[in-house]
Structure 1
Amino acid sequence: MSTPTAKSPRPHRRPKKDPARMLAFTALRAVDERDAYANLILPSLLRKAEKNEGFERRDAAFATELVYGTLRMRGSYDAIIGACIDRPLSKVDANVLDVLSLGAHQLLGTRIPAHAAVSATVELARVVLGDGRAKFVNAVMRKISTQDLDTWLQQVAPPYEEDAEDHLAVMHSHPRWVVAALWDSLGVWQPEHCGRTAMSELLAADNARPAVTLVARPGRSTAQELRDSLPAEDTAPGRWSPYAVQLVEGGEPGLVEAVRENRAGVQDEGSQLVASALAAAPLEGRDGLWLDACAGPGGKAALLAALASQRAAVLVASESQPHRAALVAKALDGNPGPYAVITADGLHPAWRPGAFDRVLVDVPCSGLGALRRRPESRWRRRPEDVAHFGPLQRGLLTSAIEATRPGGVVGYATCSPHLAETRTVVQDVLRGRDDLEWIDARPLLPGVPGLGEGPDVQLWPHLHGTDAMYLALLRRKG
């Protein structure tokens, strides 16, 4: 009779590193630990990874989707993860939570089969967390995989009838205070269309991947040239701006010769409309000297410079931060007409009062109008940030007015629809002054619907497909 032998333990297998998932995890940690912006850190990580043998274009696309998708839906995923664990999220290690968020996105926001998403996430956990915590990740991932996203959201979101703002915040992955602020603004600008459906559409638009839009700089390139540079199926005409060309998925700006030569660039259509409206605003008298008072990083300045050159006008582009002024100079490089880029603080002008015929002041703001492009911003901003920007915005607008000659035009713009950063700022600055006339900006955005009752305008991602840009135009009385 033979003696039974003990079963040999399974040999330890070293976890495999998936390059795309590792890169996505590294990017999320940089966003969390160093307050990095995904649109800045991700390109540098991708450039470094592309030098490695075996890292392919599809890996770069997958890593990009993981990072942006996870950041956009982090609020919803946190609620779902919280329902699958026996402790508060605040007690979960940040590294573990990032791995779980990446895994949740693969399960709930992509077409990756559930077994593959669970397996790959556990493998990532083994690499970056160790085998012990990988078991916890495995258990949570298996719970998440039992239901799809819609079912989970209906389960974890409070009923709409009990708390409408909190319901929408969980369903559409926005902080509650942001939902409230956007709803207040939408109620002012679209009072007949600001109910539950419209708010859901607005928040969903914030979570949609924005189209890449090119701008043809007048006198240097045309929209048709940009479209002819790529296969017809890779482009579509802009919706509102005559200078715009949209790239459908797969279109590469770097393949367009005019972009490589700086005769065109990448710019949201809302920004193009702001610059072109200021250039088209009627004024009294001469029209030879323009100012972009907050020019960094240079997109609007480049379009304004091109438009100014066609009228023999000169643009002065001012930026207070030297590194951003360098970006402005790069954006304007090659402009056929004269221009100047200076490093100067708009609150302490380097120019004499009344020097300019047209002035654009695109003020620093909370950025709530560009959440599609910077999804991490929604989790960093706080209500007090809006109040913090207020004095700066009022000061910059006042300075821009003083820089404008009688008969000239000032454009106040901001990439935020928050009322405290838009109309309220303009009303506060105008209060007690009788030397300014509020110009109706709507006719200067021809063909664009849903601009409200004027005279200022607010663009919306769900209505116009643009960032939520605001514009007010003021003429200084002569």
Structure 2
Amino acid sequence: MSPADDRRDASGRQRGAARSQGRTQRSAAAPSQRRRGSDPARTAAYDVLRSVDGSDAYANLVLPPLLRERRITGRDAAFATELAYGTLRLRGRYDAVIAVAASREVSTIDAPALDVLRLGVHQLLGMRVPAHAAVSETVGLAREQLGTGPSQFVNAVLRTVGRSSPQEWEDTIRAAAGDDELAGLAVVESHPLWVVRALREALVGNGRSADEIAALLAADNAAPRVTIVARPGLADTDEVLDDAGDDVGTVGALAPTAVVLSGGDPAALTSVRDGRAGVQDEGSQLVTLALTQAPLDGPDDRWLDLCAGPGGKAALLAAVAGERGARIVANEVQPHRTRLVEQALRAVPADAVEDVRTGDGRTVGTDEPGAYDRVMVDAPCTGLGALRRRPEARWRRTPADLASLSALQRDLLVSALQAVRPGGVVAYVTCSPHLVETQLVVKDAVRAVARLGVEVVPIDTPAVVRGIAPGGEVDLDDTRTDVQLWPHVHGTDAMHLTLLRRTS
């Protein structure tokens, strides 16, 4: 690779793009004047941030099709991905930096200009982009998208940011937070303070040290590796590894169905394209397999996924059910998500899928009492356990969301405990460690069904999980009957799992 090519890659520019647009690639002009526009990768990242801010879109749903549509591939696609996701993860930290550098509150900066500034600060403080390239390319983006006046403001702020190191800025914004240690941690690790407090309480409530909070927040800000599920009876891990290529994947440490990729495009895998495998967090695979392995009394023929969309857990359940001669009913309340479930199940043998339907999961228990042997309740939640994958969720949720969500979670679990037959098993799952969404929901639901004459007992969930994991080595609290996974401990999303058996 020539030195010129190396410089272009380091700045994230599409190789040859400047010539194809009629621009020269080098200039004697000042960096702020060198670019009249921006490159495709930075423009894509900017458009993602605007979609997230303007239409409440999720970056992981917006960026991949945008890259395909604009034919941004290879290193440019990787650059755009890190720029967009990294900026969203560290938005809180960067807003604190921008406020100091601009000598004004970020709430007074127009949203499009603020997004451009965030992208520039991430390049300066969070990526290996030379400072001159980060400034000139971002100013070019501002000029292209916002006009000359805003681009001058962007140039001035970014030049101020670039005069100090990342550590110096961290010290500055931590000091600005005052004497409250958690407040300083919240701004440096880019989480709302209420989320930091809730996560610390969740650690303690699950038998872990409150001192782990810094490691947990840092793990939330680390880009997760892509994990593939090889659906039993349809694909195996060896096939996925062969398909991925040499030195690209490893077998998961927790779920025997998991392959963790270090690179490549999962959509390029044959097994993923035809539905025999799929993209699914290893923690999600583990809690799904736990339901299939939990001991029950009596027949084991009919399973239910009560909240099945978008279909990852339903597909894994159905694959296992097919191997055992059981059938699954997949229920989803939203029609568009029901279609996603149907797509996820496309490779599963037809005799393993009894029905994919749209309906309110809260009524299944009264409509079909005692009709199922195993029931999965993957309840809607705040998503605080998946902030690695959906970083924008931390800025959208508020404490007020907990009341409505926990009420819904309780109603769904009550319905599931009614829908399962005596002797059958229910798995209550959330992608949140918040105690209000996990332990308290389970306690409330168990009390509620007891008033209806339904008795349940907890299953030793840690023992079931260890029986699934290769080697059985999983860091879990054996004093509890439920399981809480953590990104900083297990390398997964912070999935919660409670297994319950109905006794009468």
| Matching residue of 1:451 | 476
Provide the rounded CA distance (Å) in 2 between the counterparts of 1:318 and 1:394. 17
Percent of aligned pairs with the same residue?
Answer: 54
- Tell me how far 1:232 sits from its aligned partner: 2.4
The aligned amino acid for 2:225 is: A
| Counterpart selection for 1:325 from 307, 314, 338 | 338
Specify whether residues 13 and 149 from structure 1 end up closer, same or farther in structure 2 by C-alpha distance, changes over 3 A only: closer
Instruction: Look up the SS of the partner of 1:368 in the other structure.
Output: coil
The answer to whether residue 492 in structure 2 is matched with residue 466 in structure 1 is yes
Q: Any gaps of 5 or more consecutive residues in structure 1?
A: 1-9
- Tell me how far 1:231 sits from its aligned partner: 2.1
Provide the rounded CA distance (Å) in 1 between the counterparts of 2:492 and 2:47. 30
Please say which of residues 427-436 and 152-161 is displaced more in the overlay. Answer: 152-161
- Tell me how far 1:460 sits from its aligned partner: 0.3
| Matching residue of 2:231 | 217
Specify whether residues 100 and 359 from structure 1 end up closer, same or farther in structure 2 by C-alpha distance, changes over 3 A only: same
Specify whether residues 428 and 306 from structure 1 end up closer, same or farther in structure 2 by C-alpha distance, changes over 3 A only: same
Provide the rounded CA distance (Å) in 2 between the counterparts of 1:338 and 1:390. 32
The aligned amino acid for 2:475 is: G
Q: Any gaps of 5 or more consecutive residues in structure 2?
A: 1-29, 467-471
The answer to whether residue 461 in structure 2 is matched with residue 435 in structure 1 is no
Provide the rounded CA distance (Å) in 2 between the counterparts of 1:45 and 1:257. 22
Give matches, 1:41-120, under 5 Å: 41-50=62-71, 55-120=72-137
Q: Deviations over 1:292-319 (max 9, x none)?
A: 0000000000000011111110010100
| Matching residue of 1:165 | 182
- Indicate conservation of the 8 Å contact 1:74/1:101, yes or no: yes
| Matching residue of 1:143 | 160
The aligned amino acid for 1:28 is: L
| Matching residue of 1:3 | none
TM-score by length of 1: 0.93
Specify whether residues 347 and 21 from structure 1 end up closer, same or farther in structure 2 by C-alpha distance, changes over 3 A only: same
Instruction: Look up the SS of the partner of 1:431 in the other structure.
Output: helix
The aligned amino acid for 1:85 is: A
The answer to whether residue 59 in structure 2 is matched with residue 16 in structure 1 is no
Q: Deviations over 1:127-157 (max 9, x none)?
A: 1111112111111101100112221011111
Instruction: Look up the SS of the partner of 1:162 in the other structure.
Output: coil
The answer to whether residue 419 in structure 2 is matched with residue 403 in structure 1 is yes
Provide the rounded CA distance (Å) in 2 between the counterparts of 1:307 and 1:136. 58
Matched pairs, number: 460
| Matching residue of 1:377 | 393
The aligned amino acid for 2:371 is: A
Please say which of residues 460-469 and 440-449 is displaced more in the overlay. Answer: 440-449
- Tell me how far 1:171 sits from its aligned partner: 1.4
Runs of 4+ in 1 over 3 A off after TM superposition: 158-161
The aligned amino acid for 2:70 is: A
Specify whether residues 131 and 348 from structure 1 end up closer, same or farther in structure 2 by C-alpha distance, changes over 3 A only: same
Provide the rounded CA distance (Å) in 2 between the counterparts of 1:167 and 1:400. 42
The answer to whether residue 312 in structure 2 is matched with residue 299 in structure 1 is yes
Q: Which one has the bigger helix percentage? A: 2
| Matching residue of 1:25 | 46
- Indicate conservation of the 8 Å contact 2:414/2:446, yes or no: no
- Tell me how far 1:254 sits from its aligned partner: 2.6
| Matching residue of 1:5 | none
Specify whether residues 353 and 56 from structure 1 end up closer, same or farther in structure 2 by C-alpha distance, changes over 3 A only: closer
- Indicate conservation of the 8 Å contact 1:394/1:425, yes or no: yes
The answer to whether residue 352 in structure 2 is matched with residue 338 in structure 1 is yes
- Indicate conservation of the 8 Å contact 1:414/1:422, yes or no: yes
Provide the rounded CA distance (Å) in 2 between the counterparts of 1:330 and 1:392. 26
- Tell me how far 1:159 sits from its aligned partner: 7.9
- Tell me how far 1:190 sits from its aligned partner: 3.3
The answer to whether residue 201 in structure 2 is matched with residue 184 in structure 1 is yes
- Indicate conservation of the 8 Å contact 1:235/1:251, yes or no: no
TM-score by length of 2: 0.89
The aligned amino acid for 2:317 is: L
- Tell me how far 1:58 sits from its aligned partner: 2.0
Provide the rounded CA distance (Å) in 2 between the counterparts of 1:161 and 1:125. 33
Provide the rounded CA distance (Å) in 2 between the counterparts of 1:209 and 1:394. 32
Specify whether residues 314 and 33 from structure 1 end up closer, same or farther in structure 2 by C-alpha distance, changes over 3 A only: same
The answer to whether residue 263 in structure 2 is matched with residue 288 in structure 1 is no
Specify whether residues 141 and 159 from structure 1 end up closer, same or farther in structure 2 by C-alpha distance, changes over 3 A only: closer
Provide the rounded CA distance (Å) in 1 between the counterparts of 2:342 and 2:195. 34
Instruction: Look up the SS of the partner of 2:362 in the other structure.
Output: coil
- Indicate conservation of the 8 Å contact 2:372/2:419, yes or no: yes
- Tell me how far 1:161 sits from its aligned partner: 8.7
- Tell me how far 1:47 sits from its aligned partner: 1.9
Please say which of residues 81-90 and 304-313 is displaced more in the overlay. Answer: 81-90
| Matching residue of 1:6 | none
Provide the rounded CA distance (Å) in 2 between the counterparts of 1:16 and 1:449. 51
